[in-house]
Chains A and B, each alone.
Chain A
Amino acid sequence: GDSVTQMEGPVTLSEEAFLTINCTYTATGYPSLFWYVQYPGEGLQLLLKATKADDKGSNKGFEATYRKETTSFHLEKGSVQVSDSAVYFCALIAGGTSYGKLTFGQGTILTVHP
């Protein structure tokens, strides 16, 4: 079945540090890939997406590139801020799916200290 594996957290960084959260996937067909962010006490916000190989999604300084050869979609940001503290979920929708079930990774808690 389809699955998403994220790096174990929590991740703790100082402000302005470089962030990488690893995400790899297993899926049938050609999946669409997503990063969602959940701030404390809130719902999920779509952070970025990619629908085909070598697509780069970017938003708010975050980037991720769809790598079909390594089945990965790692999230990066060059300089994190305290306001980036949240839970980050990598997710996919398998290609050819008729009802669009999102398969999530377990989530990575990020804490950024001043």
Chain B
Amino acid sequence: DTEVTQTPKHLVMGMTNKKSLKCEQHMGHRAMYWYKQKAKKPPELMFVYSYEKLSINESVPSRFSPECPNSSLLNLHLHALQPEDSALYLCASSQRTSGGLNIQYFGAGTRLSVL
């Protein structure tokens, strides 16, 4: 089983709202990732968690706040977003971050629209 589950599938929010995206995996993976994908573009890495600790922040604005409460769960908290933040947000997980164990499996994504 290589399933990564993301909720919600779709989200519409205003620029003053606070919302959260959720990602779960039960494969025993210890690395989890957030990506942002704009239409007709490849995914762009936002954050990497390794063993529940934030290891990489790719210069993402502070209106995006990641959280890893445990090894199976990854959240992305959203606040005061801009219309240009509208995109598909993808979560991925892998056994580890390095070497041959870094095979990333993706969820179906949350399609976010900011009005």
Q: Is B98 positioned at the interface, with any CB of A under 8 Å from its CB?
A: yes
Residues of A1-51 contacting chain B, CB below 8 A: 32, 34, 36, 42-46, 49, 51
Partner of B42, one of A43, A51, A105: A105
Shortest distance between the CB of B11 and any CB in chain A (Å)? 15
A73 at the interface (CB under 8 A from B): no
Residues of B within 8 A of A101 (CB): 45, 48, 56
Q: Given the interface contacts A104-B43, A107-B42, does A49 sit within 8 Å of B98 by beta carbon?
A: no
Q: Closest residue of chain A to B105, judged by CB? A: A46
User: B41, B98, B105: which contacts A97 (Cβ < 8 A)?
Assistant: B98
Q: Which residues of A contact B92 (CB under 8 A)?
A: 44
**Quick check: is B106 within 8 A (CB to CB) of the other chain?**
yes
Q: Which residues of B contact A106 (CB under 8 A)?
A: 41-42
Taken together as a complex, chains A and B put the C-alpha atoms of A98 and B101 apart, in Å, by 11
Map CB proximity to B onto A73-103 as digits: 1 under 8 Å, 0 otherwise. Answer: 0000000000000000101010001111110
Range of interface residues on A (Cβ < 8 Å): 20 to 34
Total number of residue pairs linking A and B with CB closer than 8 Å: 62
Q: Are A99 and B103 in contact (CB under 8 A)?
A: no
B50 within 8 A of A: yes
Contact of B40 with A45 in the complex, beta carbons under 8 Å: no
- Tell me whether B106 and A100 are in contact (CB under 8 A): no
Closest to A49 in B: B103
Chain A hits for B97, CB < 8 A: 97-100
Residues of B in contact with A (beta carbons under 8 Å apart): 2, 4, 6, 31, 40-43, 45, 48, 50, 55-56, 88, 90, 92, 94, 96-98, 100, 102-109
Residues of A that sit less than 8 Å from B by CB: 32, 34, 36, 42-46, 49, 51, 89, 91, 93, 97-102, 104-107
Instruction: Taking A43-B106, A99-B97, A100-B104 as given, write out 10 further A-B residue pairs in contact, using a Cβ cutoff of 8 Å, ordered by the A residue number.
Output: A46-B104, A89-B42, A91-B42, A98-B98, A99-B98, A100-B48, A102-B104, A104-B42, A105-B42, A107-B42
